[in-house]
A and B are shown apart, each in its own frame.
Chain A
């Protein structure tokens, strides 16, 4: 195992990434807080405990109250934190949705409609999907309309995502299908942005294979053909000569990294034999049973390895 700086390992754990911006001091809420604090006389005598300054009774703060709503869905589990879902809408129109139990789609759908989110949520049994098409697909989806579903911090089951409700155009609907096996382990979600009328969900068997195809597996880990050869964060031009020297056949998968992607599964991109630019960035190398190497690449460099959501060393420790 190569030496890994333990401190580096902790960086991706930070909720606000190290060096990343925290709150904006010029934002309305920051200015309201500053005004509330400095409305009081500054205390000069150390050791005297004063009452906290009264918040401004009305104005900005009150306006925000009206726009903020948080509702937790009916709890299907005994554990208090494991309510089946939770929806919170912030003043800026961003809705955060956490789902822990996938069966209460109706409650979730109603709550989203209450909050004015144009979304349809359906639950289908595992291995099924709603008959397609249900409506007209929107082609130009605004960036940042929603975040990729991600784990809920500190929890094993369930996931969360955010939708920016301000980016919907009139007549558009977020069509969302969720599914989970009866065992409670694993879940699947499909999300489409559609416009115009949407037909009700008619569950039909899902034609897609459930198991994710594992033709390619990571090649740079212990026991694999490229063990010890680090390719992540290098350019294609740096990596290819070594692979050629080793007589490897190389193909590429171009990763499609959505804006604000937190790291993790990026969907199956197309595997291609056509070469990519020497200045493209490699994030990992995979191999299949025939010894073909597939480089997972992007056309530009990202701050964080999009496969791992941070440095590879934070994830692969061997």
Chain B
């Protein structure tokens, strides 16, 4: 029985590890926080391994678990715990490429951050994780229709906020502030 559980958990772990680390890295400001979220997500999954679905569904289930861990994590940011240092270092690798590395993206990022948590959550699950409505419904524990409405409204608000911010292109801003004669 325990062997069967272990095999199931290991399969889910292998299938979802990359996706969950990416999910955490996209949403945590530091690799340490992301490492915490990853470790706690899989720890929680192991505790509830009997509820863990099989196959592809397991990944959606883990997204849902990671989402709850993340929410708790943001709430108790001062509650630091002994961390997996190796994981920190590995997560730091994912932080190498700066997401806002361009001035224009920073502007979009600023607009994006003005949206509500709910709006951002549903938008990023589409944009970053590439989930469809049905998958999002599973992750969020909502009906498909609720997701459809939420997504529609979030897109509208994003679009409006972008228009208001009047993000424009300038010649200079294509350049990063560094010269690189090498």
Contacts and interface: CB of A to CB of B under 8 A. Distances in A.
B105 A13 contact: yes
B168 A190 contact: no
Interface in B73-120: 81-82, 84-106, 108-109, 112
A147 B96 CA distance: 9
Contact of A10 (B90, B124, B176, B182): B124
Contact of B25 (A16, A19, A25, A147): A16
Contact of A13 (B10, B21, B99, B179): B99
A11 interface: yes
Interface string A19-40: 1111111011110111011101
Nearest to A189: B178
B47 A267 contact: no
A212 interface: yes
A46 interface: yes
Contact of A43 (B14, B29, B48, B91): B48
B104 A6 contact: no
B46 to A, nearest CB: 5
A50 interface: yes
Contact of A221 (B18, B94, B169): B169
A262 interface: yes
A171 to B, nearest CB: 18
The winner among A32, A36, A37, A307 for most chain B CB atoms within 10 A is: A37
Given A52-B43, A187-B177, A46 B89 contact: no
A43 B174 CA distance: 53
Interface residues of A, number: 93
Interface string B164-180: 00011101001111111
Given A18-B128, A30-B17, A88-B92, A6 B43 contact: no
B84 A68 contact: no
Nearest to A317: B167
Contact of A151 (B14, B98, B129, B180): B98
Interface of B: 2, 5-6, 9-10, 13-14, 17-23, 25-26, 29, 38-40, 42-43, 46-51, 81-82, 84-106, 108-109, 112, 123-124, 126-130, 155, 158-159, 162, 167-169, 171, 174-182
Given A6-B162, A15-B98, A18-B128, 19 more contacts: A12-B102, A14-B128, A22-B25, A23-B90, A33-B39, A38-B9, A68-B89, A96-B95, A151-B98, A151-B101, A152-B98, A159-B176, A160-B98, A192-B181, A218-B174, A265-B180, A308-B174, A314-B104, A315-B169
The 10 closest A-B pairs by CB, nearest first: A22-B22, A23-B21, A29-B86, A25-B17, A22-B21, A22-B18, A43-B47, A16-B22, A149-B178, A150-B101
